Amino acid sequence: ISLEKGGSLHLFHVADELLITADTIVWTFSEILGKPKDREDAIAMLRKLSRHVHEVITGVCITNKRKNGFFFRFIDRLFARLDDDEIVYYVDKYRPFDKPVAMAYRNGSGTWQSKHQWQFYNVMGLPVRLLYQELKKF
């Protein structure tokens, strides 16, 4: 998807313009978990993740009129054990239906991750440190 976004560079008129696009998916149990359809779907997703590892994969495309580059970052994350009361409270209070896997990190769901695996910028969709390194090479 990030490469498709990067393909829209033809809309730019200046050769020195730089376009950076990124997409993030969550992979677990051999499936991609996207945004929940409704309350029940959000609750089901969070139940599925409870006590399990999921992989956050972010792809980034750097493009200008002369060339393009692409890189990706994988992060394995372990979800804490969540009981049904925590899940229902979270979904009802924050209504995270527009968030992948029903997780609005700014509202505290980051505390459900093991600390050594919590990498905010990658999970939020842009691995800033890696992007900086790639831009220097670009």
Question: What are the catalytic residues?
Answer: 23
The closest of 92, 113, 89, 109 to 100, measured between CA atoms, is 109
Indicate the burial class of 83 (C-beta count within 10 angstroms; 0-12, 13-18, 19 or more): exposed
Q: What does the block give as tokens for 120? A: 């905010």
Radius of gyration of the chain measured on its C-alpha atoms: 17
Amino acid of residue 109: S
Strand partners, 62: 20, 69
Pairwise CA distance, residues 133 & 100, whole Å: 27
Pairwise CA distance, residues 116 & 10, whole Å: 41
